[in-house]
Structure 1
Amino acid sequence: MTILKNCFGTKTCIIAFLLMQFYTTGNAQPVADSLKQAALHGKSYDEKIKAWIRYLEDYQRYSNLEDMQQSCEEAMALARRHGDSLSLALIERIAGTVYYFKGKYDTAASYYYNAVLKLEKTTDKKHLAMVYNELGKLYRKTRDLERSLENYNKALSIYELLNDEEGIAVILNESGVVYEYKKDYEEASRRYNASLEIQKKRNDSVGISYSLHFLAGIYVQQKKYNQAKDLMREVLTIRQNLKDSFGLALTYADLGAAHKAAGEFDEATQYLLQSNRYAEKNGYPELMLNNYMELSGIAQKRADYQKALEYYQLGSALRDSIFSVEKKKQIEELNAKYNNIQKERTIERQQNRILLQRWAIAGILAVVVLLALLIYSQYKRYQLRKEAELKTALMNQHEQYTKKIIEAEETERQRMARDLHDGVGQMMTAARMNLSAFESAAPPQSQEQTALWTKIVQLVDDSCRELRHVSHNMAPHALQKNNLATAVRNFIEKLNKRDLRVQLYTEGLDERLDVNTEIVLYRVIQECVNNVIRHAGASMLDISITRDAEGIHATIEDNGKGFDTSDMEKFDGTGMKNIIARMAYLKGTAEFDSAPGRGTVVGLFVPLTPA
């Protein structure tokens, strides 16, 4: 899959820089340096904070991401010390963008939501629209397209209210990408052309280049490669004149993808490598990831499988550093937290209205005491009942959010397992077949060559088996057909029992449990067993899982080296906090009994009735 097909030349990267790019002038760098000096050594707080904000907003492109991160932290610390929530919100938005381009999406989401909560209390609607725009981009990155459009629509409404043509043009481009993902190319093209007309009216070379860039993407989707390349060369000329290194990196990447789609592999390779040189220099790992995957695809089409594997490994290493299930989970948790805060604000407004009603009732009491007392009494009972109902509803909603997070995590595990099986697994199988074919075509000429060849084939076979094992552990099929006891037994049977003797005892588990309970318990037991294998150095492991009238009891006991349970670093390093959190989701408990030299006992309990 090409960069253009995925997001047309990393449009997920392009959009974020629409609000960041301010291009070189003759004295821009000295002005940036003087602003930073004023921010660090100004005489008053007002002078310092204004210098920080202008430096961060106007001159980001003169610093690398590490420098910008450090500058944001210093500016935020200054604003916090002076209790300046508005300035803090403005800086938090910029900090979110910096972390976004570093691939730390969970941290970026945290800063964006903090900025939204502060700006919604102010009259600064323009900066609020800018944060909604960033949130739209973030959810587009995680492919939550409906939530992405929701944030873009919020931003567009504000810009239209402010009659801000520049902001409207940005959102038209941003939301156009979402419609490309939805494969609604007609709507995407309409938005890009509308943005282009605004930018031409404003004579904005930067905006014109991005709109043309996006329109070229539509041509690629429609396989009109010559028109796409013509537009991209026009964009390239504009960005070379602007000396926009980031924009040039994007343009070279998209030219490479267009040439690849047209079957022009030499030109494609040249442009993609040129893009990576710019991306590496400026520290944009996601763009490098996409370029490596494009280069791997080109090498495969040329039957250069060694080069394809090298590019794929480089891309995979970057992907692992950028994306993770945990980051997506944290983003969802931040969204849930934001929604809860919004609900709490609604409740607070409702309670304020109730307070006013109480004062009105107090006035009536002065006129008709007996009647007012009766009304007040009835009202209090009604209010308490409603507050109890509201509290129950909020608790149920919180449980649903937590359930969705667990389900999203399990779904992501299953997707990754499928990707491993269908993607890397097939590549390993193809490699094994090619090795066999090569052996038949060019048999070894000596015993040394035969031994080396046998070792290579054995390594490939071992890798295939390990891949299947990892895929199965990430998405166990046993729970789909069997109960918890059978699933755990199947997992244990796959362990290497030469070094670790495992005893499993189960009782009362013939009847199936709730699907979430079974999945969470299975993951917790799996984590405990893996901890024993990795850390305990044990020779014996006893597992007991029983069900009685109270609930589910489980113990995992080993004769390993044990550890100090008061050492919190051990809890961080072995996933024990994750075990405790999962058990808390089931309203259960997890207890650890261990000491150096006397093994470890983990006790788990899940009640069958609501806690």
Structure 2
Amino acid sequence: MYYRMLLSVLLICLLHFNCIAQTKKINELKQKVDLAVSNDEKLAAIIAYCEDYGNIAQDSLEKYAYIALDLAAASENEKLKTLAQLTLAQDYMQWGWTDSVHAVVAQELPKNKVTDIDRRDIYFKLKRLDATAYGADGKIQESIAILYPLSAEAEKYNDSVQASAIANIIGFAAAYRNEMKEALKWNNRALLYASGTKHNNLGSIYISRAQIMHKEDKTDSALYYLEKGIDLCRQVEMYDRLASAYRFQSAVYVDINRLNDAETALRNMQETRNKIEANPDAIIEDNLQIADFYANTGRLKKAIAFCWSKLETGDLQRKPGDSSKTFNNDPSVRLPFYLALARYLKEDKDYAGYQKVLEEIVVLKDTVYERNKAEAIAEIRTKYDVAQKENTIVVQQLKLARRNYLLFGSIAFIVLAGIIAWLWYRNQNIKQKVRMRQAIEEEKTKAAQSILNAEEKERKRIAADLHDNIGAYATAISADVETISAKGIEAGGSQLANLQLHSKEIIHSLRDTIWVLNKENITITGISDRIKNYVNKLKPSYSHINITVEENIANDIRVGSQKALNIFRIVQEAIHNALKHSQAKNIIIDIKATNSISIEIKDDGKGIASPANGTGNGLRNMKVRAEDAGIHFNIESAEAGGTNVFLETA
């Protein structure tokens, strides 16, 4: 019950910062509506009257909202047209049609920029109303998402009234989320802004502070600020906000067991509602609060009787004998009272009455559903009828325009038609020829560029390959020659052996590169043969290790020369790593080709501690080559020993 009340008060905060006008002023504005002469004067008076929509009866607000729309249709003042739409959105808000509110805001907001000083006030009203609609649906996060940037904009343009209102709402929303430090910060900011405004928002801000204090269990402070807020709201005759404050005051008194004061607060709430141009019994939340008060204070029978008193039906056109009696025939209004009755009857152990009320609830829910569906259909039909009428007006205007321009237009058209046709034909031929020449030139340019790109890419690939392989060996040869020069030939026996080895490696690397350059595409059989030749050259130097090449080539797949060289280099590096580091006794190279090429290099050596995170040059080079060639590459190694290098390509 408390959180339902908090959400209700949050919605009222959103609504009533929009209406700083007083009840006396409303009466004066209503008189201006009656005395207005011109269309725009009457429209402006109605908009000003409806601005304080929280203190206006729903039926009156709806009547004047649609009168404003009719007047706006005949007006040429774009600002008044937008304000008429805003009045309609305020009417939607009072009836709880939040989707329609969002639709109006989305339609009108682009026309009213915050940078336009003449439209800035409308911009703030539209944005706050949008936040209000989200708050009414319980979507506090969406509401706050609008209010935070809106607060920054109000500060940017030094609008203290807007900044005060928005800060107070954000603070109350923070309290609703139990973020009390944040709530107090924003409430203090609201007080700071309000102190410099012409309009008195302090009453609402003090009531919000009372609610923050109450959530922090500071009852004395809550009652203190509540009294200040109530007094200020009473002075400016902000009766709807005042009635809500009395309702909250009653809840605080119930918490501290001051039941007489709580009941007095509820009576004050009802008296305040009577001062507003609305039927107090239409305020469902007020009546449910009274019923809950009776139930929570041990007067369950009185709560039940109170709910039954709000469910009497009758002829709304005929005045009943008892002037204090109010008839309630609306199913959507009756339903909340029946739901409350169900709780009270069950608590009172009146199970027979409880059962009857449950049956009535089912019927009412079905009735409300059907009525809402019928209202939705009626709304669609109304929109369709309005659209049809607007279309008729547009068609008539078009016919009139055609009649006026037909005579002069026909003469001009006949004279110009031939000239335009000849010029168009001539221009099209010229454009076609130009486009053809441009297309041919573009194709030539693209072809030449493609050849240059391909040559450049191949040049860079060959240069990189020669640098990575031959360059390393050439550097080693240079170092060996320097050592031999320094020591002499007799002392440089090992360097001479290295020279011979490195020279052979350069020759092999050149042969591999030439092997690739001589062919556009290479088969997997050619790659396999190259791998076998490489293994056969290694075996004499590693006679203690059994190196085996296994083939299972069902489909002799062809691959590009660059990809073939990368496959060979990866296999070469994997074999080299196994021979150098694994201490293996057996190395198997398994080559398969069916729908794709897969090669696996397996050894039974000591394994790699962390193959996935390997940082050696060999592993890194294999990964880079695989990524460049689009080859799937993976290394697996068990702690018990053994390493598998796996690569696969389509």
TM-score, L = length of structure 1:
0.50
Q: Which one has more relative contact order, counting CA pairs under 8 Å at least 6 apart?
A: 1
Larger of the two Rg values belongs to structure: 2
TM-score where L is the length of structure 2:
0.47
